[in-house]
Amino acid sequence: MSENLNQGLLLLEKVLLLKSLSIFKDTPETTLSELAPLMQEEEIEKDGIIFNENDPGDCMYIILSGQVQIHKGKTDLAILHDKEVFGELSLLDAETRSASATAKTDCILYKIDQEPFYELIDTRPEVARGFIKILCTRLRQLNERTARSN
Amino acid sequence: MKQKNIWLRTLNVRTEEVSIVKKLFLLQFFQGAGIAFFLTASLTLLLDNFEITKIPYVFIYAAVFLWTAGFIYSKLEHKFNLSKLGLIITVFMIVSILFFRLAFMFFHSSWFIYLMLPWFYVLYLLNNLEFWGVAALLFDARQSKRLFGVISAGDIPAKLIGYSMAGLAVHYIGTINLLWAALACMIASIPFLVGIKEASILHEMHHHKDHSHKNKHKKSTFDVRRIIENYSGNALVRRLAALGILVSGSFLIVNFAFLAKVKQAYHTDVSLANFIAFFNAIISIIFLIVKLIFTSRLINKLGIIKSLLITPIVMLILISTIIITQDYGDPKMILYFFGAAYTLVDILRTSINNPVFLTIMQPLPNHERLRAHMILKGITDPFAFLFSGIAILALIQIQGKVNLVSLSYVLLAMCILWFIGVYLVNVQYLKTIVKSISNRFFNLENFSVKDSGTLEWLRAKAKTGSETEIINILNMLNAENDPIPDDLIISLLHNPSEKVKSFVLNLMMEKDYPIAAKSLPALIKHEISPSILARSIKVICKNNIDFEEVKIHLDSSNIEIRDAALDGLFFYSTGELKERAGAVIIKLITSENKDERLSVAKILSQHNNCKEEEMILQLMNDEVGVIRKYAFITAGKSENPKLLDALINLGIKYEFEVIEPLLIGGDLSLPAIYSFISANKGSILLREKLILLIGRINSDNSHEILIKLLNDLPGEYPSIIKAIYRSSYVPKHNEREAFITVIRKMLTRSAGIVYIQNNIIHHESNLQLLSNALSLELDSLRENLLLVFAILYNRDNINKVRKAYASGNKTNIINAMEILDITARKDIAYRFNLIFEPGNIAERLHDIQKIYPDVVFKNTVDLLNSILSEEISFFNNWTLACAIYVSKKQNIAADINLMIKHQFSENLLLKEMAEL
């Protein structure tokens, strides 16, 4: 099986990877199994640029292994590790990237492009429903945080 | 039994609601009768023991009492749940009646007689608050709409019987002892209240969260500051409240004058009680007749403003007659006139004014409407008591006696104020309509314009309003059955706004306006907008008015205008003109230029029942997607089985593109869809969408096909059940058994999955992945079972159960299981609850084994094989893929043949696992 990561993940393992991400933890595997075929593997060498600030955003990334540095110019904003996601809102809108992403170590990433994702939600409304649910949860959390800080 | 069902259907009460509706009806009946006895006794004793000059004080005390009682109620509302509060209030009413009765035994002073009438108003208020509070708790919004009319009707026979009984009983038991009768009636209501309380516990448990949440934010109904804030917020509400005070105030003054005359005419307590009781009984009968027969008809016929004027006009006539005849008339005659005024004002304000007030509030947004109800309920009566009490008192103080002539002049002045008030309310009402139209927050379903006055006004407004206002008004008028007047259509065709003109022309395409259409040829000579010109051409052709005028546009360089001319001439003209248009169309359809083919596809798609079969087939196979899209729509509208058949078969290639056109085809698409699904053509996803489409067609034929599929294709249960649930299908008696069979099968499968899960727990291998997949299977089975329950039983209740399971909250689920227990068939609900109860599987396995024979798995291989085989069939692809994955990952030698067969699966994930 896919013990050797270089061989790439099986679709089922991709589903399990998605399920292990915090944003998809409440999404049923049956829905994620529709999303898994859209995941494309990308290997990025250390210091390789994944995207630059102000690039048009049209995909999201999942880190299978390695570390990714999110930064604005020379200012570091975050270091992301295995099973973390970035650029997920770009699946839904086409805003420019608000920061740059660079591989801090050699990385294996999975990328999901906006276009096939749109095609998928055209035929599988439950995927769109799952995403709407995720966005609602985030919005609610944000509202609660704002209310608390006020 | 049949007889009973007819009654239930007539009253719109469902079988499961009978018990609670009966209890509420009887509660209202006994309490209503008790209050009628109390009023007869209190009014009689007051008139018998006190001078009429004391009545204004009664009104002032009533105002204070009402405010206080309302205020205390709103405080208690926060402390107790409504069913408990109902019981507290009833006990309080009983104690207060008992107190008054005992006061006669133990006190020689008569001060309590003086307080009895104001107390009657308190009892009346408390009874209303308690009853509607409990009723609102027991029923949801949908039930309320159906049932409130029936249960509130308990009040009318109660009053009728209560007053009649009081009139008869007073001869034998005396006035004071009528209080015992009141007490007995109130006590008789307790068992029903207790019954309601028990029934409501479950409901409250279910809604506990909601209620506590609501209570946290709810402001007191009788919070003065809040009422004043609300009162000043909206001009319509302000004017309605002021008019409400005027109406109630006028009624109280007429009431006072009438009582003065009654006191003059009757001198013993028994004769007084007799008169009061029978008089009120007669009012109840008239009220019932007016409400049932005249109210809605009168309001519809006269319109809002005229309906509101009925009461002041009647009062004006009667009061004028009293003033004119007072010097010549028989004193008994004056009594009758005041009696008539009292009766008519009471009946008219309750049966006409109040419903009209509710209608006037309709254009307000929901929250404003609620405020308006609250203000009218909470503010008008106490203020009316206060103002009328002070006014009468002032008059008596100034003149030193009760002068009914002066009082009549006051009433005349109030009539005039009433007219002004109605005028001001009407002005504000119309302004509110305009505002709501401009804001577009009205809902045509709730907001229907029926009275001729408002309609007339809307038509006038449509000529002068803004673009948005005109379009919204046209929308409203178009929703009514009568066509929009031609003069309005013609004037709007001259409107400078292109948007308005387009809208009007669209209306003319939709419905027939032949007179207005005749004005179009002259109009288009000066029209510069291609879009308006094209629309006008279509309307002209549709009305067969002037084809020669249209012909010149066939050569237009503007494609929109050319296409409109082609469309009009090809479909509506005859002879040479039709042939000429046809030749152009054929030229376009064979063109290499896709825009020209698209033009034809668009033209054809605008017509139902298009006969151009060859043209449509050619366009359906066009390589350009957008041309196909229009051709598919045309095929859907064609009513042609050959085209519909071709359409569904193109679904194999173009998948979901065919769904909406097939929906347009409606019933006629059904045979083609059924053969397609039965022949197992197309992808799983397409078949699923087609099954759901059958449900969306939602006709008797589509329901029949779904039932047939339910029997033929058990593998498609989830989508078939979803399709039936989403349609308006109601199973006939002989069809219910098919659903029960489906439920049984699904319950057996669910029990089988529970066994597998239980075995997984006991196996040494790590099968967590499989266990999670099986939990998803169970969730899906549970949801499908609940959908079948919703088809068979009370849908609202079952949806509450679904929501509770979706919330994942254990307490909610336990309550939901109780709801299911009282909603679905006992044995089925029991089995469902047994399988889907949250908690440890092992704990309930013993009970499940009693119903479903246990499945024994010798080892993990056996278990995996049972999933992969068809013995416990219909697992979803994810579960099958997980079973294969577990088998391969952990080297568990499950039957290879059971895995290989999935190599041809449509599902990528399962296929990949099988091929591994």
pLDDT in tens, B216-229: 334 444 455 555 55
> Would A100 be classed as within a structural domain?
yes
Question: Nearest Cβ partner of A123 from B656, B769, B889?
Answer: B656
> Is there a single domain that holds both residue B214 and residue B283?
no
The answer, yes or no, to whether residue B451 has pLDDT greater than 60, is no
Residues of A in contact with B909 (CB under 8 A): 11-12, 15, 33, 36-37
Which segments of B177-286 are extended strands (E)? none
**Domain limits for position B376:** 223-429
> Would B791 be classed as within a structural domain?
yes
Question: Nearest Cβ partner of B878 from A1, A33, A122?
Answer: A33
* In the block, residue with structure tokens 């002989």: B734
> Is there a single domain that holds both residue B122 and residue B217?
yes
> Would A113 be classed as within a structural domain?
yes
Closest Cα in chain A to B777: A30
Q: Write out the H or E segment, with its range, that includes residue B445.
A: none
> Would B799 be classed as within a structural domain?
yes
Question: Nearest Cβ partner of B912 from A11, A28, A29?
Answer: A11
Model confidence over B898-914: pLDDT tens digits? Answer: 888 888 888 888 889 88
Residues of B in contact with A36 (CB under 8 A): 909
What does the DSSP assignment read for B769-791? HHHHHHHHHHHHHHHHHHHHHHH
Question: Nearest Cβ partner of A12 from B656, B779, B881?
Answer: B881
> Would B349 be classed as within a structural domain?
yes
Angle ∠(B548,B553,B559) on CA atoms, nearest 5:
155
Question: Nearest Cβ partner of A123 from B685, B876, B882?
Answer: B685
Query: Rounded to whole angstroms, what are the CA distances from A107 to A52, A61, B158, B660?
Result: 17, 11, 82, 45
CB-based burial, A100-113: b 16+ in 10 Å, e otherwise: bbbbbeebbbbebb
Among the ranges given (B78-82, B135-139, B350-354), the one the predictor scored with the smallest mean pLDDT: B135-139
Task: Give the number of A-B residue pairs with CB atoms closer than 8 Å.
Answer: 41
Residues of A in contact with B888 (CB under 8 A): 1
> Is there a single domain that holds both residue B420 and residue B319?
yes
Residues of A in contact with B902 (CB under 8 A): none
Residues of A in contact with B772 (CB under 8 A): 29
> Would A132 be classed as within a structural domain?
yes
Question: Nearest Cβ partner of A29 from B656, B773, B916?
Answer: B773
> Is there a single domain that holds both residue B803 and residue B821?
yes
Residues of B in contact with A37 (CB under 8 A): 908-909
Taking CB atoms and an 8 Å limit, are A123 and B769 in contact across chains?
A: no
> Would B398 be classed as within a structural domain?
yes
- State how far the Cα of B439 lies from the Cα of B449, in Å rounded to an integer: 17
pTM: 0.59
> Would B568 be classed as within a structural domain?
no
Among candidate residues B389, B409, B429, the one where a domain is terminated? B429
Taking CB atoms and an 8 Å limit, are A29 and B889 in contact across chains?
A: no
B751 CB-near residues (< 8 Å, 6+ apart): B835, B848, B851, B852
Q: pLDDT value at position B148?
A: 60
Q: pLDDT value at position B9?
A: 58
Q: pLDDT value at position B280?
A: 77
Query: Are β-strands A68-72 and A75-80 bridged in parallel, bridged antiparallel, or unpaired?
Result: antiparallel
Asked if B509 and B539 count as a contact pair (C-beta separation under 8 A), the reply is yes
Give helix B768-792 / helix B795-807 axis angle, nearest 10°. Answer: 160
Confidence of residue B707 (pLDDT cuts 50, 70, 90): very high
- Alpha-carbon A81 to chain mean position: 12
> Would B443 be classed as within a structural domain?
no
CATH number where A136 lies: 2.60.120.10
> Would B535 be classed as within a structural domain?
no
Q: What is the rounded (10 degree) CA torsion for B309, B314, B315, B316?
A: 80
- Distance from the A1 Cα atom to the nearest Cα atom in chain B, whole angstroms: 7
For residue B283, give the 3-state DSSP assignment: helix
Taking CB atoms and an 8 Å limit, are B908 and A16 in contact across chains?
A: no
- State how far the Cα of A75 lies from the Cα of A68, in Å rounded to an integer: 14
- In a mutational test of the A interface, the residue from B909, B915, B916 whose CB has the highest number of chain A CBs within 10 Å is B909
Model confidence over B301-312: pLDDT tens digits? Answer: 677 777 888 888
- In a mutational test of the B interface, the residue from A26, A27, A29 whose CB has the highest number of chain B CBs within 10 Å is A29
Closest Cα in chain B to A38: B908
The answer, yes or no, to whether residue B696 has pLDDT greater than 90, is yes
Asked if B789 and B823 count as a contact pair (C-beta separation under 8 A), the reply is yes
Among the ranges given (B576-590, B870-884, B891-905), the one the predictor scored with the smallest mean pLDDT: B870-884
Asked if B384 and B245 count as a contact pair (C-beta separation under 8 A), the reply is yes
Confidence of residue A109 (pLDDT cuts 50, 70, 90): very high
Residues of A in contact with B889 (CB under 8 A): 1
State the average pLDDT over residues B574-593: 88
Question: Nearest Cβ partner of A11 from B769, B773, B908?
Answer: B908
- Distance from the B878 Cα atom to the nearest Cα atom in chain A, whole angstroms: 6
The answer, yes or no, to whether residue B450 has pLDDT greater than 80, is no
Name residue B659's amino acid. I
Q: How many domains does chain B have?
A: 3
Q: How many domains does chain A have?
A: 1
Confidence of residue B194 (pLDDT cuts 50, 70, 90): confident
Question: Nearest Cβ partner of B909 from A1, A28, A33?
Answer: A33
- State how far the Cα of B636 lies from the Cα of B668, in Å rounded to an integer: 9
Residues of A in contact with B877 (CB under 8 A): 30, 33
Q: Write out the H or E segment, with its range, that includes residue A76.
A: strand A75-80
Confidence of residue B634 (pLDDT cuts 50, 70, 90): very high
Closest Cα in chain A to B881: A12
Q: pLDDT value at position B666?
A: 92
> Is there a single domain that holds both residue B155 and residue B26?
yes
Question: Nearest Cβ partner of A30 from B876, B889, B908?
Answer: B876
Q: pLDDT value at position B315?
A: 86
Query: Rounded to whole angstroms, what are the CA distances from B897 to B863, B875, B878, B900, B915?
Result: 15, 17, 18, 5, 12
Q: pLDDT value at position B216?
A: 39
The answer, yes or no, to whether residue B505 has pLDDT greater than 50, is yes
Among candidate residues B181, B198, B222, the one where a domain is terminated? B222
Q: pLDDT value at position B202?
A: 44
- In a mutational test of the A interface, the residue from B658, B782, B878 whose CB has the highest number of chain A CBs within 10 Å is B878
Confidence of residue A47 (pLDDT cuts 50, 70, 90): very high
- Distance from the A114 Cα atom to the nearest Cα atom in chain B, whole angstroms: 21
Asked if B756 and B710 count as a contact pair (C-beta separation under 8 A), the reply is no
Closest Cα in chain B to A11: B909
> Would A118 be classed as within a structural domain?
yes
> Is there a single domain that holds both residue B115 and residue B258?
no
Question: Nearest Cβ partner of A28 from B655, B776, B885?
Answer: B776
Does residue B400 come out as left (phi exceeding 0), alpha (psi in the -120 to 50 range) or beta? left
Taking CB atoms and an 8 Å limit, are A36 and B881 in contact across chains?
A: no
Model confidence over B731-784: pLDDT tens digits? Answer: 988 889 889 999 998 998 888 888 888 888 776 557 888 888 988 999 999 999
Taking CB atoms and an 8 Å limit, are B878 and A123 in contact across chains?
A: no
φ/ψ of residue B182, rounded to 5: -60, -45
Taking CB atoms and an 8 Å limit, are A12 and B912 in contact across chains?
A: yes
Taking CB atoms and an 8 Å limit, are B916 and A33 in contact across chains?
A: no
> Is there a single domain that holds both residue B295 and residue B416?
yes
**Domain limits for position A82:** 30-149
- Distance from the A77 Cα atom to the nearest Cα atom in chain B, whole angstroms: 36
Taking CB atoms and an 8 Å limit, are A1 and B889 in contact across chains?
A: yes
Taking CB atoms and an 8 Å limit, are A36 and B909 in contact across chains?
A: yes
Taking CB atoms and an 8 Å limit, are A12 and B913 in contact across chains?
A: yes
Query: Rounded to whole angstroms, what are the CA distances from B438 to B367, B443, B469?
Result: 18, 13, 5
> Is there a single domain that holds both residue B268 and residue B332?
yes
Among candidate residues B403, B429, B455, the one where a domain is terminated? B429
Taking CB atoms and an 8 Å limit, are A12 and B888 in contact across chains?
A: no
Question: Quick one: tokens of B107?
Answer: 């006190």
Asked if A31 and A45 count as a contact pair (C-beta separation under 8 A), the reply is no
Taking CB atoms and an 8 Å limit, are A29 and B772 in contact across chains?
A: yes
Model confidence over B834-868: pLDDT tens digits? Answer: 898 887 777 677 778 877 776 666 677 877 887 88
Name residue B787's amino acid. L
Question: Quick one: tokens of B27?
Answer: 């509660």
Cβ atoms < 10 Å from Cβ of B511? 10
- Average per-residue pLDDT for chain B: 80
Residues of B near A (Cβ–Cβ under 8 Å) read 655-656, 685, 769, 772-773, 776, 779, 876-878, 881-882, 885, 888-889, 908-909, 912-913, 916
Q: pLDDT value at position B141?
A: 47
Taking CB atoms and an 8 Å limit, are B769 and A16 in contact across chains?
A: yes
Asked if B916 and A10 count as a contact pair (C-beta separation under 8 A), the reply is yes
Question: Nearest Cβ partner of B908 from A16, A37, A123?
Answer: A37
Closest Cα in chain A to B659: A123
> Is there a single domain that holds both residue B385 and residue B265?
yes
Q: pLDDT value at position B366?
A: 61
> Would A6 be classed as within a structural domain?
no
Confidence of residue B786 (pLDDT cuts 50, 70, 90): very high
Q: pLDDT value at position B765?
A: 59
Q: pLDDT value at position B206?
A: 44
ipTM: 0.84
For residue B57, give the 3-state DSSP assignment: helix
Asked if B397 and B404 count as a contact pair (C-beta separation under 8 A), the reply is no
Between B572 and B170, name the one with better pLDDT. B572
> Is there a single domain that holds both residue B209 and residue B258?
no
Question: Nearest Cβ partner of B888 from A1, A29, A37?
Answer: A1
Which class for B110: exposed (0-12), middle (13-18), buried (19 or more C-beta within 10 A)?
middle
φ/ψ of residue B556, rounded to 5: -60, 145
Q: pLDDT value at position B601?
A: 93
State the average pLDDT over residues B523-544: 85
> Is there a single domain that holds both residue B146 and residue B259?
no
% of chain B surpassing 70 pLDDT: 82
- Can you list the alpha helix ranges (DSSP code H) found in B839-907? 841-851, 860-868, 877-889, 896-900
Between B479 and B489, name the one with better pLDDT. B489
- Distance from the A17 Cα atom to the nearest Cα atom in chain B, whole angstroms: 13
Residues of A near B (Cβ–Cβ under 8 Å) read 1, 10-12, 15-16, 28-30, 33, 36-37, 122-123
B753 CB-near residues (< 8 Å, 6+ apart): B774, B777, B778, B781, B872
Closest Cα in chain B to A16: B769
> Would A24 be classed as within a structural domain?
no
What does the DSSP assignment read for B179-192? HHHHHHHHHHHHHH
Q: pLDDT value at position B330?
A: 67
Cβ atoms < 10 Å from Cβ of B336? 14
Residues of A in contact with B885 (CB under 8 A): 10, 12
> Would A135 be classed as within a structural domain?
yes
Asked if B28 and B162 count as a contact pair (C-beta separation under 8 A), the reply is no
Confidence of residue B806 (pLDDT cuts 50, 70, 90): confident
> Would A70 be classed as within a structural domain?
yes
State the average pLDDT over residues B83-87: 78
Q: Starting from the edge strand earliest in sequence, which strands make up the sheet with A59-65, in order?
A: A40-44, A107-113, A59-65, A85-86
> Is there a single domain that holds both residue B209 and residue B229?
no
Give Dmax (Cα) for chain A.
52
Q: pLDDT value at position A5?
A: 40
